[in-house]
Structure 1
Amino acid sequence: MTHIQEMEMVLMISLFLTTILTLVLLRKFLKRNTTKVNRPPSPWRLPLIGNLHQLSLHPHRALKSLSLRFGPLMLLHFGRVPILVVSSGEAAQEVLKTHDLKFANRPRSKAVHGLFNGGRDVVFGPYGEYWRQMKSVCILNLLTNKMVASFEKIREEEVNTMIEKLEKASSSSSSENLSELFITITSDVTSRVALGRKHSEDETARDLKKRVRQIMELLGEFPIGDYIPVLAWIDNINGFNKRIKEVSQGFSDLMDKVIQEHVEAGNHKEDFVDILLSIESEKSIGLQAQRDDIKFMILDMFIGGTSTSSTLLEWIMTELIRNPKCMKKLQDEIRSTMVPNTSFVKEKEVANMKYLKAVVKEVLRVHPSLPLILPRLLSEDVKVKGYDIAAGTEVIINAWAIQRDKAVWGPDAEEFKPERHLETALDYHGKDLNYIPFGSGRRICPGIGLALGLVEVTVANLVGRFDWRVEAGPNGDDSDLAESVGLDICRKFPLIAFPSSVM
């Protein structure tokens, strides 16, 4: 063997040993790094679908049951997508406060893509400059305390219209569908505030209310295609994709009529639509809002102003009727506060009704309109409660479970008990993460004042003006609390009640 051959042999052996040593070290390095990653506890999952099979028609209940076994911070997998489920106020504190910016984004679901063009709105839009500008437009022109107060006359007129209808039902000893009545009053107020007039008498309003309900149901679903792309064809088979297209087109057509009506009337900045149209035409503030974006912003207003508000009213009256002592206590407060020789409870009187506000707070606790706070998307790796959470993880915060946590609210956490709020400074604005009916942090609902302003004055007049009774159903009280499906959880069955005027 020549010297050159010997050198080549030594080189080959050295290269071989170096490769083996590199592989051994790499394996140890990867193994060491893998063992360092501390993921939250996870339930066992099936191949391909992950934990999707563990969701029921009511995901907030199914996820709470899982959290009781696996803890308040658990990692699920919906197909290929990791899902962090938060079920305690302590864990929510880190997500919504400590690391709020990292969790400020929204996942781009199939429903959001089809209904909102990927999120060209405030509710579902991705976090960024466009979102901040649009949120600012909404708050300044519709949701400030001054603007909310300026709509008092509209609220009073629509509540009086509702009262007149109930007086007729009372005089004829007939029942009234309160669920439908609540959808009508919230829709009419929202129409007048955002669109300049109400559309109760025409087909537009009926279609709009129907479309909003359909949208809430679609947004509350977990379509297979979002989580398992190879099974996306199932969303065609079960009609999900078709419903998205039909509802999106139907809503778009309705908004075209509304916007055209405003264009033909001239731009006088009289209502929210006029303001959005002026922004579109001026382009003076650097906000690139297109005509379709205006439709999505209007839809946001109707989702917040109609669907969730009517759901809240529905559960308030449900719980008061189911709890006669609470109803009586609230009636005493309202009737003792009412100005003599007047039949309408005004908002300045409502402002001093402590028990009314306690009732509203308690209903928001046990029946939050959105039991699962709208999902968030983690933008970068982070540690939460000592666990490693990877970027790209979707986050579901179970407000329904958090607000029924017996460790926080006591052994009677499942019970409706307004008195628990009388001696506390707890409010709706997400400061205490054990009570987050409207969310918290950057993505908290900006329309709290607009929604509660109508809800409180409506309840004050319903309860102050009438006594109420319902006919017992075949299943006793079970049907009273049966829940619908969708993003917001209203009653499964309409609330039918008999009003009896006390005036």
Structure 2
Amino acid sequence: MMLFLDLIDGFGSNHQIIVAVSFVLLLFYLHHTLTQTDIPRIAGIKEIPGALPITGHLLALGDDHATVCEKWWRDYKQSIFQIRLGNTRAVVVNSFDDCRKMLVGHQSAVIDRPKLYTFHGIISSTQGFTIGSSPWDESCKNKRKAAGQTLGRPAMKTYQPMFDLETYCMIRDLAHDSRGDGTHLNIRPYLQRYALNTTLTLCYGIRMDSMWDDMLREVLEVGSAISLLRSASENYQDYVPILRYLPNNEKNQKSKSLRGRRDKYLNELLDKIREMIEHGTDKSCVSASILKDEETKLTGVEVSSICLSLVSRGFETIPDINRHYPNIEVAWKESLEVETVPYVNAIVKEAARYYTVSAMSLPRKAYTDIDWDGAIIPKGTMVLINAQAGNHVMDHFGPDADAFKPERWLKTVVPGEEIAASGLQHLSFGAGSRACSGQYIASRLLYTALVRLISSFKIVASEKEPPNTDYVNYDAIKSALVAIPRDFKVKLVPREPVDLDRCLQLAGARTKEAYA
């Protein structure tokens, strides 16, 4: 009897031990499952502490990933570190020198892009991926080659009539709507039409004259909404898979709705091109060339991808303009042809550096293992470039890196003389093998618009609704992939009303038949 009782006691004791061990093992399993990432922890690269189960560092990053990552760089004295975005491990690069080393020194290793569930799996499932977001493969290579031919420096001359027309329409409407009576305007809609019409003309040979055209507003609204869904801070389901399967998933529903709206206007644009080709009224553009088999051998989805990529993103100035152009008419004409005013070029460069449009850039993905000072970043690892931080590094840009200062790009201001470009100027267009294909046309658009705006008007900020000029806080929605500037108003005072009227008349006559 005593032996039996001893066995019972022993079993009870062992049972408690078994339960305790099982509980510990269960906790270990849950912790491992909830903190597991696609890539194991990378030895030799600091991991930022404080990651939570399931979400990792997502909550700590908040809405403004670039600013938080820069703070971590300063706090931990490490320009490159690793973080967890849900179940995705990412390496973040912050300093200008390290960003350049990663993008240029290891350009063949970071040529790839990650696929994200919402943007790639839902939104882009019908029209294909944009060039910038495409994973690296033969199709992406073909698209970049075609885009490079369309947007490179040699093609600029063929686009002069388009630049002429769009800048003319912008100045015409600004002059009309400001009425010369001190009216303050929100100029953003005029600039949006300028940028979007340029890309629509390139892709489809179609433009919209009204800033309030229904399709123009639809393209802008859908593009902004998709930009939000591409952001890690706005869309956790890309990194926390369980969120994708929640009932009544609003992110999935919104993504499908945006996909449908985008498909609708893209198909309408292509249908217009087909109709114009049929009637012999089409203009030279990417879509018409492809549809008529005049361009590189691309599939229909690749053509849509190229078009989608394009449609989806000072005090000393006047004296320098006057030194290069004897009058406003010459300034209007020659600004289309060549970028000859050093101070305006300096403004374009400084604006691109100072106001980093995509603060964290588009994510890269390691195409091969990367040897980073002895630490091996495995193939498949997400690599994030903190362009905002890199663009404001004092060690590279000087102690005034946090100031907007076009003079940093000039040897002398009077007379204006530029510092010869050497190497990577800034990080806003990316660098290396996946640098932005449209950087040359973007710079020309900015140059032409600035010369014509500045030579036409004195631009005075509104006292009640002035522009926010802080390089972080100018962005109204920091969680968006691409910055959305806060609205502001300015007063436009014609410098020489008679000369401006003359320029508008000449440009109107010159562009009358362009893309009519």
Q: Does 1:484 align with 2:476?
A: yes
**In structure 2, the residue corresponding to 1:171 is in which secondary structure?**
coil
**Equivalent of residue 365 in structure 2, options 377, 382, 398:** 377
* Distance 1:473-1:195 versus aligned 2 partners, 3 A rule: same
**Per-residue deviation at 1:475?**
9.3
Q: How many residues align?
A: 437
- Measure, in 1, the Cα distance between the counterparts of 2:454 and 2:297: 48
2:376: which partner in 1? 388
- Counterpart residue type for residue 162 of structure 1: M
**Equivalent of residue 240 in structure 1, options 251, 261, 264:** 251
1:123: which partner in 2? 132
CA contact (8 A) 2:56 2:83 kept: yes
**Per-residue deviation at 1:285?**
6.2
1:322: which partner in 2? none
CA contact (8 A) 2:131 2:140 kept: yes
- Measure, in 1, the Cα distance between the counterparts of 2:494 and 2:439: 31
Within 5 A, what are the aligned runs for 1:15-26? none
- Counterpart residue type for residue 243 of structure 1: K
- Measure, in 2, the Cα distance between the counterparts of 1:478 and 1:255: 35
- Counterpart residue type for residue 338 of structure 1: Y
- Measure, in 2, the Cα distance between the counterparts of 1:386 and 1:469: 54
What TM-score does the superposition give when structure 1 sets the normalisation length? 0.80
* Distance 1:328-1:479 versus aligned 2 partners, 3 A rule: closer
Whichever structure has more helix as a proportion of its residues is 1
**Equivalent of residue 273 in structure 1, options 250, 273, 287:** 287
RMSD: 2.8
* Distance 1:170-1:249 versus aligned 2 partners, 3 A rule: same
Q: Does 1:334 align with 2:321?
A: yes
CA contact (8 A) 2:87 2:239 kept: yes
Q: Does 1:226 align with 2:238?
A: yes
* Distance 1:184-1:333 versus aligned 2 partners, 3 A rule: same
340-349 vs 270-279, which deviates more?
340-349
CA contact (8 A) 2:205 2:283 kept: no
* Distance 1:341-1:487 versus aligned 2 partners, 3 A rule: closer
Within 5 A, what are the aligned runs for 1:62-461? 62-70=68-76, 71-109=78-116, 110-117=118-125, 120-140=129-149, 142-168=150-176, 169-201=178-210, 202-222=213-233, 223-233=235-245, 237=249, 239-266=250-277, 270-279=284-293, 287=298, 289-290=299-300, 292-303=301-312, 307=313, 327-340=314-327, 342=329, 344-345=331-332, 346-347=334-335, 351-423=339-411, 425=419, 427=421, 431-432=423-424, 435-461=426-452
**Per-residue deviation at 1:139?**
2.0
* Distance 1:302-1:472 versus aligned 2 partners, 3 A rule: same
**Per-residue deviation at 1:82?**
0.5
* Distance 1:36-1:362 versus aligned 2 partners, 3 A rule: closer
* Distance 1:411-1:94 versus aligned 2 partners, 3 A rule: closer
CA contact (8 A) 2:369 2:378 kept: yes
**Per-residue deviation at 1:126?**
1.2
**Per-residue deviation at 1:499?**
0.2
1:29: which partner in 2? none
- Counterpart residue type for residue 472 of structure 1: E
**Per-residue deviation at 1:422?**
0.6
What TM-score does the superposition give when structure 2 sets the normalisation length? 0.78
- Measure, in 2, the Cα distance between the counterparts of 1:177 and 1:130: 41
Q: Deviations over 1:386-435 (max 9, x none)?
A: 323122210110111011112222221111111111136464x9x33x72
**Per-residue deviation at 1:152?**
0.9
**Equivalent of residue 43 in structure 1, options 22, 32, 49:** 49
Q: Deviations over 1:32-79 (max 9, x none)?
A: xx9994233423311221111122222211211111123110000111
CA contact (8 A) 2:109 2:368 kept: yes
Q: Does 1:60 align with 2:74?
A: no
Sequence identity percentage: 19
**Per-residue deviation at 1:467?**
0.8
CA contact (8 A) 2:317 2:343 kept: yes
Q: Deviations over 1:188-244 (max 9, x none)?
A: 22222221120334432221222222222222344222212123346954x222221
